[in-house]
Amino acid sequence: MGADLESTAPIPVVAESTPPISPRVHGPTRSIALAVIAALLWSAALWTGWTFQRTWSASTGEPASVIVATWMRDNHMGPVVAQLENLYYRYVDKPKVGGDPTISADLSQEDPAETDTADLGPSPVASASGGVASAAPSAPAERDHLQPPPPLISPVANPEPLEGQWQPVASRVDGIPAVYVTRVRADAEHTSYYASVMWIDTVLTKALFVPGYEEPAGGPNPYDGALPKTLWPYVLANFNGAFRLEDTLGGYAYDGEIVAPLVKGKGTTVFYRDGRVKVGKWGRDFPEITDDMIAVRQNLNLIVDKGESKVNSASDNVVWGATTDKESLAWRAAIGQREDGSIVYIGSPYLSAAGLADTLVSAGVREAMVLDMNSWWTAGFYFRHAKDGSPKCRKLEPTIPEGCDRFLRPYKRDSFQFLGNPESGLLDTTWPVPQASSTTP
């Protein structure tokens, strides 16, 4: 009846097929790069382990933090160590503000004059056991000597008993005290801490520079880092030397050999062959090396010059701590010299560069050179002697770590030694000291 109708069924739509993803084929370049990176990391790990093991095995009781810092400095990471130290002093080892000192300014509590001790002089004589003993006691000798400085004025309103008062310590020389110590606050804010200050009569003593068996690196080393035992009966005081050579910004010479070039204008301590010592500025106070100099040790700029602190000087403002911020309160040390030639040493915790310099100025110091710093390397000692001549050590600062005979025995860093000089003249016949027989560890 009607016409045929077209089919209305939907025409199926065939979707386009997505080609399968084939796995990425890595070329040889990527494999080589990964192998190189792995080799570099492995080499770095081996190098780190090897160099650190060398530093660790060369340690002599230092805490892990000191060993790590030494390893970093040995491998040209000194600036990193400096920043870490600054953060440590600023946020971790923060000094207390206010309060009273936890140690006494009365040195007799730490340095009792035992009845079995002997003074240096009159003429020492050989004992039957091969040691050195004093001759029969006599009245104090009439001889030239220096007087300790006037008492130091504390910056606090109410000083502790004996604070700032010079007290004789150590064995005497011909019956005369040659070493005095006092303790005084370095500023009026951090009143819980003393600066321990030692004064040494350079008429009654002779000075000796002992290079460490590692530092200063290079040059003659006649003592293997130890004070010869023949001189132990005469040692009255010793303390730490200066920074490692790469941190001094200066140089070093020993027995006529220039180990590191001496730098004009830098703080310098000169030890003479006859036992004299002088602190000053190279190029001004010491125009050149002379034959009578046995050791020339430099360290940064003078922190005190012509009796004035240079910490805040616009023309002479360096960081007195090598790389550590001068504002940080840390263990610091310095050697200073008064107009009469006597020596003043400070080695104490929680000192800023300004506090260090101000205390030296208050002691009448004309020129001063900073020495080593931080808790392990800052160390000063003085000595009494038993009747057989053996030294009995005392720490200048009670919290100095480890024993106090470190500069008598082989030590890796240099030390400044002060020996009694009795009028008998015995030391004159053995100066400079003959080569030591001890060996390095």
Q: What is the DSSP string of 82-101?
A: HHHHHHIIIIISPPPPS---
Nearest of 120, 112, 108, 118 to residue 176 by alpha carbon: 120
DSSP designation for 198: E
> What does the block give as tokens for 398?
């009670």
Q: Are 148 and 180 in contact (CB under 8 A)?
A: yes
Distance CA 363, CA 150 (A): 8
Continuous segment of H or E residues that includes residue 37:
helix 28-57
Distance CA 84, CA 292 (A): 42
The answer to whether the Cα torsion of 123, 127, 132, 134 is positive or negative is: negative
User: Which amino acid would we find at residue 68?
Assistant: V
Strand 267-272 and strand 125-126: pairing?
unpaired
Distance of CA 184 to the CA centre of its chain: 21
pLDDT confidence of residue 94: 81
Give the alpha-carbon dihedral of 136, 139, 140, 143, to 10 degrees: -100
pLDDT confidence of residue 123: 37
For the chain, which ranges sit under pLDDT 50?
Answer: 1-7, 123-140, 427, 429-430, 435-441
Residue 307, phi-psi category: left (phi > 0), alpha (psi -120 to 50), beta (remainder)? left
419: β partners: 206, 235
User: What are residue 213's phi and psi, to 5 degrees?
Assistant: -75, -5
pLDDT confidence of residue 16: 55
Nearest of 269, 432, 266, 420 to residue 345 by alpha carbon: 269
Distance CA 430, CA 426 (A): 7
| SS3 assignment, position 416 | strand
pLDDT confidence of residue 72: 62
